[in-house]
Amino acid sequence: MSSDFYTAYILPYSALIIKICRAYTNTQEDFEDYYQEVCLQIWRTREKFRRESEWSTWVYRISLNVCLTLLKKKKNNTQHFASDYLPEEETEDSHAFADENLNVLYDAIRRLSEVDRGVILLYLEEKSYQEIADITGTNANNIGVRINRIKERLKKLLDGKVN
C-alpha cells in the first residue's frame, strides 16, 4: 500500500470504516485489527474496482465483507456464541466514543444480527435503499420493512438508556 494510495483513497473514508468496524468489535485491539485488515483489503482489491459505483460504496462493501469474515473466523475459533447476537454485558468498546448516547447506540447495534448491523449503519449514513441492498447483498424491496424492524428493536434496546 503506498502512502499516496492510503492518503488519497482510504484516509478520506476512514470515518465510515471506523463506524463499521466499531459495530463488529468489542475491544480496541480487535477494532484496530479490523481497521487495518479493511485498509489492506481495499488496497489488495483496488484493481477490481470497476467505477460502476461510487468509491465510497466500494469502501462500504469491502469494510462490511471484511468485518463479517473476521467475525465469522473469530466465532469459529472461539465458539463463544451460540447465535450471531453479541452478549448483553458491557464491553471495552462501550466507551469508544466521547458521546455517551452514541456508545449506548453502538452497544445496541452490536446486539443485532450481523447483516442487520450493516443495514442500519448504512441507513444511518443516509444511503438509499437500493445502495443498502447492493452493499449488503439483500433484497431492495424488503429493505424498508427490515429497517423499520431493526429500528423497533433498537428502540426497545435503548429504552431508558439514552439521555
Closer to another protein at the Cβ: 53 or 158? 158
Please give the Cα distance from 129 to 133 (Å, whole number). Answer: 6
Report if residue 158 touches another protein, rule: CB under 8 A: yes
Q: Which of 55, 65, 68, 97 binds another protein (CB under 8 A)?
A: 97
Least distance between another protein and beta carbon 124 (Å): 5
Q: Mark out the alpha helices in the chain (DSSP H runs).
A: 3-5, 14-24, 28-44, 55-78, 100-109, 114-124, 129-136, 140-158
The half-sphere exposure of 33 on its side-chain side, counting CA atoms within 13 A, is 12
Candidates 59, 105, 122, 135; binder of another protein (CB under 8 A) is 105
Residue 39 found at the interface with another protein (CB under 8 A): yes
Nearer residue to another protein within complex by CB, 39 or 67: 39
Q: List, in order, residues 6 or more apart from 76 with CB less than 8 Å away.
A: none
C-alpha closest to that of 107 among 24, 12, 34: 24
HSE value, Cβ hemisphere, 13 Å, CA-based, for 22 = 21
Binder of another protein out of 69, 101, 141, 148 (CB under 8 A): 101
**Nearer CB in complex with another protein: 49/153:** 153
> Considering only 60-68, 86-94, 132-140, 155-163, which stretch makes contact with another protein by CB under 8 A?
155-163
57, exposed or middle or buried, with CB in 10 Å at 0-12, 13-18, 19+? middle
Judged by CB, which is closer to another protein: 72, or 155? Answer: 155
- Which positions touch another protein (CB under 8 A)? 1-3, 6, 11, 14-15, 18-19, 31-33, 35-36, 39-40, 44, 97-99, 101-102, 104-105, 120, 124, 151, 154-155, 158-159, 162
